[in-house]
Amino acid sequence: QYERKNIKLVFEPQKNTIELDADGKLLEREFTNLIGNAIKFTPENGTITVSIKEQDNFVESFVQDTGEGIPKEYLEKIFEKFGQVKNKTKGGTGLGLTICKYIVELHKGKIWVESEYGHGAKFIFVLPKTQNLNEEDNKTN
């Protein structure tokens, strides 16, 4: 779809391999949702940038677009179930960003959005490099 709209997709990895204790399928879903939204809301000839950077004890990723951005009054609600911006004609269920938030929180991370209406959006999430995804398995009785 991005090729049809002539959107430039820029990928900025810090390096080829980053070690991260995470569920790969869920992270794939995370990026699929965020990039899919960016494609949906980026106009023809726009740009989408995907970045993954390793910090001391965490990995920071973002998906940034040159779309219309998100009005300020929706920034806090955008991750809620069915929390879409009103009057959007782009379609969707209103669950994609809720799922993204769930995936990040499952990995004990944080997700947020930075946006100014008319100037695109940047969805950022950070995940700890090591974690215990299933604490129940390690509890002793």
Q: Higher model confidence: residue 76 or residue 33?
A: 33
pTM of the full structure: 0.84
What is the pLDDT, as a whole number, of residue 130? 87
pLDDT at residue 100 greater than cutoff 70: yes
How does pLDDT run across 25-38, given as a tens digit for each residue? 999 999 999 999 99
Give the domain ranges of the chain. Answer: 8-129
Residues 6+ apart with CB under 8 A from 141: none
- What whole-number distance in Å separates Cα of residue 106 and Cα of residue 103? 5
- What whole-number distance in Å separates Cα of residue 86 and Cα of residue 117? 13
- What whole-number distance in Å separates Cα of residue 75 and Cα of residue 97? 12
What is the pLDDT, as a whole number, of residue 93? 60
Strand 8-13: give its sheet, edge to edge. Answer: 8-13, 47-54, 58-65, 121-128, 110-115
Alpha helices in 14-95 (DSSP H): 24-41
Q: What is the dotted CATH code of the domain comprising 8-129?
A: 3.30.565.10
